[in-house]
Amino acid sequence: MVIIRDKVSSKMSLSSNLTNKILEAVEAVFGEAPVSHQVHNACQRYQKDLENIQSGRGIGALLIAIVGAKGQGKTWVARQFVRDERTQAAMRSGDLSADATTRLVWVGPVAPEGLDRQVESYFPCQPASMLALNQPFVILDTPGVTDADARAAELATESLTLAPIKLLVIARDQIRAATNIQIARRIDGSVCIPIVTSVDPDELPGASQYSKLADDLRSLRDQLQILAPQAIISPDVLVPDFEITGDESQSSRTFIATIMDRLNEVSLSELAMGNSRDTRVQVAQERLRREVAQLIRVELPHLRQAVEQLNRETEHLPEHILASLLGSNAVLETGIRLRLRARLVSDAALIWFPYRTVMATLNLTQGAWDRVVLAMTGSVPSLFGALSSWARNARQSKEFSLEMQNGIRNRSQKIVEERLQPLVRQFQQAVMKLRPREQRLTIEQKSELMMLSGIEELQLQSQEIFDRTLDEHASRRWLAQFWGLGGVLVFWMFMAGPIVLLYREYFHASLGVFTGADEHLEDFPHPTPGLFLTSLILSLLPLLIYCMLVLTLSLPKRKISRVAKQILNEHEQAIAELKSSAVIRLVFDDSLLAQAEYLLNLDRKRVADGSH
């Protein structure tokens, strides 16, 4: 397909967006399959149509094209716009006239750019020698779209996009012919004036057989309006069959009078300035989309099935992901317990020593209180066990803090990738089966973007919910001070005895020195370090038990479970609100899926892709 795009690149100056997108999508999905080359040809025809619409072959004057099937009387109609007899004579007609049936014939004061003498003819004719339309114009007589000469039929089809005004010439007996369908699809966006030639005088308005002709004309108009909805369909022009009447000049006068009335009803000046160009470009785009959709219609069921399967799986994926975002209830309760106990410690004033220190130690050694007690009695293994628990709890506390900051975001991304990647690979492999067997590849690529959007907002709300709930259920500050006072009293109740005794002996010895009654240093108390250590341990053990009771009574398991349930409920409510407001949604950007969906919806699009 790189070769295909290179062939088209020289013609991409006009509306390259649309053709590039179509070719890229077809290449991504079908590779070098035959349908890809057919689409390439359709894009080339579209580029040709667009060049015709944009430039009009460089003719600044109003361009009127005479179109229709072979043998309908197109050249006769073209001659009626010319008053110069020599030019009329040069414009030969008839089924056996090669010039009239296989060439584009230009008549007017301006020659087209890039005139190809092999397939085109130009007859110069000044405005004074043509019908008076109050402005210069050029007549384009086209071959029949049903001509047996393939090149002539191709020229006729390409020329259908050149002019803003089309005179659709149809013989009376061909009004219901299928050829009109082919022509109608190419004249959409233009002004179309149906001209019915070879009408039996008995079928003209007022005649007894006119009702049958009227029915056929009504059917023709309905058909044109359906197949060319953006075309302006003027009332038809009826040309009496002069072979029956024997008076060609009368038929000519009737035609000229009627066609002048029809053209006067149209804003010729606006058409000459190209005001219908945008509409014709849009119609050309829609025609290309329909043609490409028609070319790939055989593969559409398989492609649609692959796309719908992936979309069906991803539609409910956010719900499954969100249901697993909040993590384990046990982990949540552990984090709540750590935070509430840390709050109880931090709320206690610094003056409550050593109660505050012991509470912090117990908080960090959650799950190893027995080893803390044994460590204080001198058990070295228990000391190492307590230190291990402290390290583990410290790590859990850090991990929980990180979880509150980025946990939902990280978990959601991981779950999205784990659940979506297998589906994407399955979709890509299904699409690869649309390619020729020798071009099927093993898909290893990952999607460019695969995530749940709105997770940042959920993360912020999660932090707010957690902090607000902890504030609501945390112990009151005055209660923390009350527990602290009780702990200090318990500690000093046991620790004060030895200290008071030592200080009393110390004061007695000092008084003896000051009064001169006793001057021996041996009278001062000199306790061993073991005395203070023993006293400290004996005093801390009751404080440990007291602190354990405080932690147990102030933060029972029932309360922790209630807080965890409230946090989970508020998270579920927040998730539901974010989902209903479309803040949380699955953002999935896969290039192959985008190309496949583009092809599936190609014929439904009616908005220009910025291609003109």
**pLDDT for 538-569, tens place per residue?**
787 788 788 888 878 887 888 888 888 888 88
- Co-location of 328 and 270 in the same domain: no
Assess whether pLDDT exceeds 90 at residue 195. yes
Q: Residue 532 has what pLDDT?
A: 73
Assess whether pLDDT exceeds 60 at residue 1. no
- Co-location of 335 and 224 in the same domain: no
Identify the top-confidence range among 433-447, 451-465, 530-544: 530-544
**pLDDT for 572-594, tens place per residue?**
788 778 777 767 666 666 777 77
- Co-location of 161 and 268 in the same domain: yes
Does a structural domain hold residue 30? no
Work out the pLDDT band at 81, boundaries 50, 70, 90: very high
Does a structural domain hold residue 606? no
- Co-location of 472 and 539 in the same domain: yes
- Co-location of 436 and 554 in the same domain: yes
CB count in 10 Å sphere of residue 519: 8
Does a structural domain hold residue 35? no
Does a structural domain hold residue 22? no
- Co-location of 92 and 157 in the same domain: yes
DSSP H or E segment with residue 576: helix 557-580
d(CA 40, CA 19): 9
Residues 98-111, mean pLDDT to the nearest whole number? 76
Domain boundary among 276, 295, 328: 276
Which residue range is the domain that position 352 belongs to?
312-491+530-596
Does a structural domain hold residue 3? no
Assess whether pLDDT exceeds 80 at residue 373. no
Assess whether pLDDT exceeds 50 at residue 236. yes
- Co-location of 109 and 223 in the same domain: yes
- Co-location of 109 and 64 in the same domain: yes
CB 295 within 8 A of CB 37: no
Assess whether pLDDT exceeds 50 at residue 369. no
Assess whether pLDDT exceeds 70 at residue 67. yes
Assess whether pLDDT exceeds 50 at residue 371. no
- Co-location of 134 and 208 in the same domain: yes
Sequence-distant (≥ 6) Cβ neighbours of residue 219 within 8 angstroms: 175, 176
- Co-location of 333 and 187 in the same domain: no
**pLDDT for 405-419, tens place per residue?**
455 566 666 766 676
Does a structural domain hold residue 524? no
Identify the top-confidence range among 268-277, 388-397, 413-422, 537-546: 537-546
- Co-location of 358 and 434 in the same domain: yes
Taken in order 250, 254, 255, 260, the sign of the CA dihedral is: positive
Assess whether pLDDT exceeds 80 at residue 231. yes
Assess whether pLDDT exceeds 50 at residue 313. yes
3-state secondary structure 8-61: HHCCCCCCHHHHHHHHHHHHHHHCCCHHHHHHHHHHHHHHHHHHHHHHHHHCCC
Residue 165's domain is classified under what CATH number?
A: 3.40.50.300
Higher pLDDT pick, 325 / 421: 421
Higher pLDDT pick, 151 / 286: 286
Does a structural domain hold residue 37? no
Phi, psi (rounded to 5 degrees) for 70: -70, 140
DSSP for 495-514, please give it: HHHHHHHHHHHHHHHHHHHH
CB count in 10 Å sphere of residue 60: 12
Q: What percent of the chain has pLDDT over 90?
A: 7
Structure tokens at 394: 């410290």
DSSP for 272-336, please give it: HTTTTHHHHHHHHHHHHHHHHHHHTTTTHHHHHHHHHHHHHHHHSHHHHHHHTTT--HHHHHHHH
pLDDT averaged over the chain?
A: 76
Mean pLDDT lowest for which of 36-45, 93-102, 124-133, 475-484? 93-102
Structure tokens at 428: 């890509």
**Which residues lie across from 124 on neighbouring strands?**
108
Residues 56-70, mean pLDDT to the nearest whole number? 85
**Which residues lie across from 63 on neighbouring strands?**
138
Does a structural domain hold residue 20? no
Assess whether pLDDT exceeds 80 at residue 306. no
- Co-location of 391 and 478 in the same domain: yes
Q: Residue 410 has what pLDDT?
A: 65
Q: How many domains does the chain have?
A: 2
